[in-house]
Amino acid sequence: MGITFTHLLLPVPRSHTPSHAELIRLIGRLVEKEFVLPAGSTKLPRMRYDEGSILNQNAAATGCYIQLGRKAVHVTKERSFSCPPSVQDLAAVAERDFKLVWPVISLGASGLHYPLTLMPQNVDPEDVCYDIEIHWGREYIYRASELIEPFASEQCAACNASLNVPSASALFGNQLYRHCPACGAAFRPEERTALVYNPKDNTTGCPMLGGATSRFALAIECGKCWEYGAVPTKEFLGTCEEAVNCRLEPVLDGAF
Ligand SMILES: [Zn+2]
Protein backbone atom coordinates (compact mmCIF):
# COMPACT_ATOMS: atom_id res chain seq x y z
CA MET A 1 0.00 0.00 0.00
CA GLY A 2 2.72 2.50 0.94
CA ILE A 3 2.57 5.58 3.10
CA THR A 4 0.01 8.21 2.13
CA PHE A 5 -0.43 11.69 3.60
CA THR A 6 -3.30 14.17 3.68
CA HIS A 7 -2.75 17.76 4.80
CA LEU A 8 -5.95 19.03 6.43
CA LEU A 9 -6.84 22.65 7.15
CA LEU A 10 -9.40 22.60 9.97
CA PRO A 11 -11.43 25.48 11.45
CA VAL A 12 -10.61 26.92 14.87
CA PRO A 13 -12.76 26.29 16.82
CA ARG A 14 -13.66 22.97 15.18
CA SER A 15 -17.40 23.59 15.64
CA HIS A 16 -17.17 26.59 13.31
CA THR A 17 -18.49 25.75 9.83
CA PRO A 18 -18.27 28.21 6.93
CA SER A 19 -21.47 29.33 5.18
CA HIS A 20 -22.21 28.43 1.57
CA ALA A 21 -21.35 32.01 0.59
CA GLU A 22 -17.93 31.57 2.25
CA LEU A 23 -17.44 28.24 0.44
CA ILE A 24 -18.17 29.91 -2.89
CA ARG A 25 -15.73 32.71 -2.01
CA LEU A 26 -13.12 30.11 -1.05
CA ILE A 27 -13.40 28.33 -4.41
CA GLY A 28 -13.27 31.68 -6.24
CA ARG A 29 -10.10 32.68 -4.38
CA LEU A 30 -8.46 29.27 -5.06
CA VAL A 31 -9.10 29.88 -8.78
CA GLU A 32 -7.85 33.50 -8.67
CA LYS A 33 -4.66 32.54 -6.83
CA GLU A 34 -4.07 29.66 -9.27
CA PHE A 35 -4.41 26.78 -6.84
CA VAL A 36 -7.20 25.17 -8.91
CA LEU A 37 -8.21 25.53 -12.58
CA PRO A 38 -11.60 27.00 -13.51
CA ALA A 39 -14.00 25.31 -15.95
CA GLY A 40 -13.06 26.52 -19.41
CA SER A 41 -9.33 26.81 -18.67
CA THR A 42 -7.22 26.11 -21.75
CA LYS A 43 -5.01 23.96 -19.47
CA LEU A 44 -7.79 21.44 -18.69
CA PRO A 45 -7.33 19.47 -21.93
CA ARG A 46 -3.63 19.05 -21.02
CA MET A 47 -4.48 17.34 -17.73
CA ARG A 48 -4.56 13.57 -18.06
CA TYR A 49 -7.85 12.98 -16.26
CA ASP A 50 -8.07 9.50 -17.74
CA GLU A 51 -4.94 8.41 -15.82
CA GLY A 52 -4.67 7.31 -12.21
CA SER A 53 -7.90 7.05 -10.24
CA ILE A 54 -10.97 6.29 -12.36
CA LEU A 55 -12.76 8.95 -10.27
CA ASN A 56 -10.62 11.62 -11.95
CA GLN A 57 -12.49 11.17 -15.23
CA ASN A 58 -15.40 13.00 -13.60
CA ALA A 59 -13.26 16.17 -13.52
CA ALA A 60 -12.49 16.26 -17.25
CA ALA A 61 -15.24 18.76 -18.15
CA THR A 62 -14.78 21.37 -15.39
CA GLY A 63 -11.63 20.45 -13.46
CA CYS A 64 -13.78 19.50 -10.45
CA TYR A 65 -16.02 16.63 -9.42
CA ILE A 66 -18.36 16.10 -6.51
CA GLN A 67 -18.52 12.89 -4.52
CA LEU A 68 -21.78 12.32 -2.66
CA GLY A 69 -22.33 9.76 0.09
CA ARG A 70 -25.26 7.42 -0.39
CA LYS A 71 -25.79 6.16 3.11
CA ALA A 72 -28.34 3.46 2.37
CA VAL A 73 -26.08 1.45 0.10
CA HIS A 74 -22.66 2.41 1.50
CA VAL A 75 -21.35 3.59 -1.82
CA THR A 76 -20.57 6.98 -3.27
CA LYS A 77 -21.74 8.69 -6.42
CA GLU A 78 -19.58 11.06 -8.45
CA ARG A 79 -20.28 13.62 -11.13
CA SER A 80 -18.77 16.71 -12.66
CA PHE A 81 -19.27 19.90 -10.61
CA SER A 82 -19.08 23.45 -11.90
CA CYS A 83 -16.04 25.52 -10.94
CA PRO A 84 -16.59 28.05 -9.61
CA PRO A 85 -20.07 26.91 -8.49
CA SER A 86 -23.18 29.08 -8.21
CA VAL A 87 -25.30 29.52 -5.08
CA GLN A 88 -27.82 27.14 -6.70
CA ASP A 89 -25.14 24.48 -7.33
CA LEU A 90 -24.32 24.36 -3.61
CA ALA A 91 -27.94 24.69 -2.48
CA ALA A 92 -28.71 21.55 -4.52
CA VAL A 93 -26.34 19.48 -2.35
CA ALA A 94 -26.87 21.27 0.97
CA GLU A 95 -28.69 18.29 2.51
CA ARG A 96 -25.98 15.82 1.56
CA ASP A 97 -22.47 14.98 2.76
CA PHE A 98 -20.04 15.78 -0.02
CA LYS A 99 -16.47 16.16 -1.15
CA LEU A 100 -15.46 18.53 -3.90
CA VAL A 101 -12.30 17.28 -5.59
CA TRP A 102 -9.89 19.03 -7.94
CA PRO A 103 -7.39 16.41 -9.12
CA VAL A 104 -4.02 17.89 -10.12
CA ILE A 105 -2.69 15.00 -12.14
CA SER A 106 0.41 16.81 -13.38
CA LEU A 107 1.60 19.95 -11.61
CA GLY A 108 3.66 20.86 -14.69
CA ALA A 109 0.77 20.61 -17.15
CA SER A 110 -1.57 22.47 -14.80
CA GLY A 111 0.67 25.53 -14.37
CA LEU A 112 -0.81 25.81 -10.85
CA HIS A 113 0.98 26.87 -7.66
CA TYR A 114 1.97 23.98 -5.39
CA PRO A 115 0.15 24.49 -2.05
CA LEU A 116 2.87 22.91 0.14
CA THR A 117 6.32 24.20 1.12
CA LEU A 118 8.30 21.14 -0.06
CA MET A 119 7.87 19.08 -3.21
CA PRO A 120 8.60 15.34 -3.21
CA GLN A 121 12.35 14.98 -3.79
CA ASN A 122 12.31 11.95 -6.03
CA VAL A 123 9.53 13.04 -8.37
CA ASP A 124 9.96 15.21 -11.48
CA PRO A 125 8.04 18.48 -10.74
CA GLU A 126 6.14 17.85 -13.98
CA ASP A 127 4.74 14.64 -12.50
CA VAL A 128 3.88 15.86 -8.98
CA CYS A 129 0.23 15.00 -8.33
CA TYR A 130 -2.32 15.62 -5.57
CA ASP A 131 -5.98 16.51 -5.08
CA ILE A 132 -7.35 19.66 -3.53
CA GLU A 133 -10.57 18.78 -1.72
CA ILE A 134 -13.33 20.42 0.28
CA HIS A 135 -15.02 18.08 2.78
CA TRP A 136 -18.51 18.91 4.03
CA GLY A 137 -20.50 16.87 6.53
CA ARG A 138 -23.98 17.46 7.93
CA GLU A 139 -22.72 15.88 11.16
CA TYR A 140 -19.11 16.02 12.41
CA ILE A 141 -16.55 14.02 10.42
CA TYR A 142 -14.75 12.04 13.16
CA ARG A 143 -11.24 11.46 11.84
CA ALA A 144 -9.07 8.93 13.64
CA SER A 145 -6.03 7.21 12.17
CA GLU A 146 -2.52 6.08 13.00
CA LEU A 147 -1.63 9.78 13.45
CA ILE A 148 -4.83 10.98 15.14
CA GLU A 149 -6.22 9.30 18.27
CA PRO A 150 -9.95 9.15 18.98
CA PHE A 151 -11.33 11.25 21.84
CA ALA A 152 -11.15 9.63 25.29
CA SER A 153 -14.96 9.73 25.37
CA GLU A 154 -17.50 9.66 22.54
CA GLN A 155 -20.40 10.24 24.91
CA CYS A 156 -22.56 13.30 25.50
CA ALA A 157 -21.12 15.34 28.41
CA ALA A 158 -24.65 16.04 29.70
CA CYS A 159 -26.33 12.61 29.61
CA ASN A 160 -23.65 10.04 28.60
CA ALA A 161 -25.53 8.90 25.48
CA SER A 162 -23.31 7.87 22.58
CA LEU A 163 -22.65 10.62 20.04
CA ASN A 164 -21.66 8.11 17.33
CA VAL A 165 -23.78 8.20 14.19
CA PRO A 166 -24.72 4.47 13.99
CA SER A 167 -23.96 3.72 10.33
CA ALA A 168 -20.56 4.87 9.05
CA SER A 169 -20.66 7.18 6.04
CA ALA A 170 -19.35 5.74 2.76
CA LEU A 171 -17.66 9.08 2.19
CA PHE A 172 -16.23 9.96 5.60
CA GLY A 173 -16.33 6.86 7.81
CA ASN A 174 -17.23 7.56 11.42
CA GLN A 175 -19.24 10.63 12.33
CA LEU A 176 -20.40 12.24 15.58
CA TYR A 177 -23.73 14.01 16.03
CA ARG A 178 -23.82 17.82 16.24
CA HIS A 179 -26.59 17.48 18.81
CA CYS A 180 -26.94 14.62 21.27
CA PRO A 181 -29.67 12.27 19.97
CA ALA A 182 -30.90 11.65 23.54
CA CYS A 183 -30.93 15.09 25.21
CA GLY A 184 -30.29 17.53 22.35
CA ALA A 185 -27.21 19.15 23.94
CA ALA A 186 -24.86 20.66 21.37
CA PHE A 187 -21.57 18.78 20.95
CA ARG A 188 -18.49 20.95 20.40
CA PRO A 189 -15.36 19.00 19.38
CA GLU A 190 -13.07 21.75 20.74
CA GLU A 191 -14.20 20.90 24.27
CA ARG A 192 -12.27 17.59 23.98
CA THR A 193 -8.70 16.83 23.04
CA ALA A 194 -7.24 14.16 20.81
CA LEU A 195 -3.58 13.19 20.60
CA VAL A 196 -2.00 13.96 17.24
CA TYR A 197 1.34 12.38 16.27
CA ASN A 198 4.21 13.56 14.11
CA PRO A 199 5.03 10.77 11.62
CA LYS A 200 8.78 11.33 12.10
CA ASP A 201 8.56 10.94 15.86
CA ASN A 202 5.42 9.06 16.80
CA THR A 203 6.40 8.32 20.38
CA THR A 204 4.72 11.33 21.99
CA GLY A 205 1.38 12.64 20.84
CA CYS A 206 0.51 16.32 21.03
CA PRO A 207 -2.91 17.07 22.55
CA MET A 208 -5.01 19.09 20.10
CA LEU A 209 -8.32 20.79 20.89
CA GLY A 210 -11.01 19.14 18.81
CA GLY A 211 -8.53 16.74 17.20
CA ALA A 212 -9.37 16.48 13.50
CA THR A 213 -13.15 16.42 14.05
CA SER A 214 -15.04 19.05 12.04
CA ARG A 215 -17.89 19.45 9.55
CA PHE A 216 -15.69 21.38 7.12
CA ALA A 217 -12.15 20.72 5.98
CA LEU A 218 -9.91 21.75 3.17
CA ALA A 219 -7.61 18.89 2.25
CA ILE A 220 -4.49 18.52 0.16
CA GLU A 221 -4.57 14.80 -0.58
CA CYS A 222 -0.99 13.85 -1.48
CA GLY A 223 -1.50 10.11 -1.76
CA LYS A 224 1.98 8.65 -2.19
CA CYS A 225 3.44 11.87 -3.67
CA TRP A 226 4.73 13.65 -0.54
CA GLU A 227 7.78 14.96 1.30
CA TYR A 228 8.47 14.80 5.06
CA GLY A 229 8.32 18.23 6.69
CA ALA A 230 6.07 19.84 4.06
CA VAL A 231 3.36 22.17 5.39
CA PRO A 232 0.80 24.35 3.59
CA THR A 233 2.43 27.53 2.24
CA LYS A 234 1.64 30.86 3.92
CA GLU A 235 0.00 32.00 0.69
CA PHE A 236 -2.29 28.96 0.49
CA LEU A 237 -3.23 29.12 4.17
CA GLY A 238 -3.75 32.91 4.07
CA THR A 239 -5.91 32.68 0.93
CA CYS A 240 -8.15 30.05 2.52
CA GLU A 241 -8.42 31.80 5.92
CA GLU A 242 -9.29 35.12 4.34
CA ALA A 243 -11.99 33.52 2.15
CA VAL A 244 -13.75 31.59 4.92
CA ASN A 245 -13.12 34.33 7.50
CA CYS A 246 -11.80 32.05 10.24
CA ARG A 247 -8.52 30.64 11.47
CA LEU A 248 -7.55 27.31 9.89
CA GLU A 249 -5.17 24.92 11.60
CA PRO A 250 -2.97 22.57 9.52
CA VAL A 251 -3.20 18.94 10.71
CA LEU A 252 -1.30 16.10 9.02
CA ASP A 253 -3.18 12.84 8.58
CA GLY A 254 -1.70 9.70 7.11
CA ALA A 255 -1.99 5.97 6.55
CA PHE A 256 0.90 3.49 6.81
ZN1 LIG B 1 -27.06 14.03 25.80
The Å distance, Cα 138 to ligand 1 centre, comes to 18
pLDDT tops 70 at residue 123: yes
Q: For the chain, what percent of residues have pLDDT higher than 90?
A: 85
In one-letter notation, the amino acid at residue 76 is: T
- pLDDT computed for residue 48 by the predictor: 87
Distance 194 CA to ligand 1 centre (A): 20
Is 243 inside any structural domain?
A: yes
* pLDDT of 70 strictly over 80: no
Those residues whose C-beta lies under 8 Å from the C-beta of residue 9, and which sit 6 or more positions away, are 217, 218, 219, 232, 237, 240, 248, 249, 250, 251
Inside any domain, residue 61: yes
Cα of 158 from ligand 1 centre, angstroms: 5
Distances (CA, A) of 74 to 168, 191, 214, 224: 8, 31, 21, 26
Residue 79 lies in a domain: yes
Ligand 1 center to residue 186 CA distance, Å?
A: 8
Residue 228 lies in domain? 4-146+213-255
Instruction: Give the length of the chain.
Output: 256
Q: Compute, in angstroms, the gap from residue 179 CA to the centroid of ligand 1.
A: 8
CA of 155 relative to ligand 1 center, distance in Å = 8
* 84 occurs within a structural domain: yes
Query: Does residue 157 lie in a domain region?
Result: no
pLDDT single digits (tens) 9-36 = 999 999 999 999 999 999 999 999 999 9
- Check whether 147 has a pLDDT greater than 70: yes
CA 61 to centroid of ligand 1, rounded, Å: 46
**Tens digit of each residue's pLDDT (9 = 90 or more) over 191-233:** 999 999 998 876 789 999 999 999 999 999 999 999 999 999 9
Question: What residues have their beta carbon closer than 5 A to ion ligand 1?
Answer: 156, 158-159, 161, 180, 182-183, 185
Q: How far is the CA of 185 from the centre of ligand 1 (A)?
A: 5
Report d(CA 35, CA 114) in Å as an integer: 7
- How many helices, marked H, and strands, marked E, lie in the chain? 4, 10
Domain-located, residue 23? yes
Cα(154) to centroid(ligand 1), Å: 11
d(CA 87, CA 78): 20
Q: pLDDT at position 76, please?
A: 83
What is residue 220's predicted lDDT score, i.e. its pLDDT?
Answer: 98
In the chain, the number of structural domains is: 1
* 211 within 8 A of 149, measured Cβ to Cβ: yes
Taking only the tens place, the pLDDT of each residue in 71-115 is: 655 678 999 999 999 999 999 998 899 999 999 999 999 999 999
